Amino acid sequence: MASLTSYTLLCCLSFALLLSSVHSANFSDLFQPYWASDHFVMADGEPLELKLDNDSGCGFGSKKKYLFGQASMQIKLVEGDSAGTVTAFYMSSDGPNHNELDFEFLGNVSGEPYLVQTNIYVNGSGNREQRHSLWFDPTVDFHTYSILWNHDHIRFQVDGIPMRVYANNEESDGLILYPKDQPMGVYASVWNADDWATQGGRLKTNWAHAPFVSSFRAFEIDGCEAGGGEDGSIEPCDKEGGTNWWDAPGMSRLTPHQRRQLKWVRAKHLVYDYCNDSGRFAEIPRECKGKL
């Protein structure tokens, strides 16, 4: 296995290459506030700052919904004592039986590392959490976080490096489900979750340090915009003349290089995996078998 130093250099190189190829949209082209717009700070252009104080958090969401594709944004997290706070970047459909793909950044006391929780809801059911540490300080500079969603798997990526992959192992008996038929919007928010976010809720939000600010920029959504017929059906949206890039043959699984990156992330930075939690699950969840 490569050393930590070599992989740190690899991560930085991947990040630099990713930034050089980004073609970002303006915030207002893709998104709009949905919660507490008075807690937004945005000068001419970017970055956009979201503030959390003792009165409220805030959030924004995409103007459209998408069925498969990739959403990305660059985020710089709350500095200093961020215990109790959560900065979220996620995709979600509507209703009680919704699908949802979560990045949740769990704050901590000064000097302690952030933890990144990912989760996947299918038909309203979640409980598929993983938690990771990061190989950099996410409060110092912006880093790119991406959710790739195709017919074969869901991929959570950090600076282009896969942190988690959830395969489509759906079975005909319906006991393993995969999100595939509910268009999802793209959202981000900053909010108070000191009942659980930091050390299981033992550390509370210190409002003397408010406002807590996370910054966002480089907004990208490259997905299938979900149109609907008058009967509420979802219209097909394959790219004219071919397959969308996220469903191209080469995207059905990770490359050997990406597999090595994922193996390294799991070995060095995986803190919790629901698949290994025998205290919660008497039997290993079926989707944990035969992981991608």
Q: Is position 49 annotated as part of the catalytic site?
A: no
Q: Is position 104 annotated as part of the catalytic site?
A: yes
Contact 91, 188 (CB under 8 A): no
Catalytic residue among 49, 100, 220, 287: 100
* CA–CA dist 241, 231 (Å, integer): 27
Contact 292, 164 (CB under 8 A): no
Closest CA to 212 of 57, 8, 21: 57
b/e map of 214-227 (b: 16 or more CB within 10 Å)?
Answer: bbbbbbbbebbebe
For the packed helices 256-269 and 4-20, what is the interaxial angle rounded to 10 degrees? 120
Three-state secondary structure of 108-161: CCCCCCCEEEEEEEECCECCCCEEECCCCCCCCCCEEEEEEECCCEEEEEECCE
Beta bridge partners of 217: 74
Catalytic residue among 46, 79, 104, 283: 104
Active site residues: 100, 104
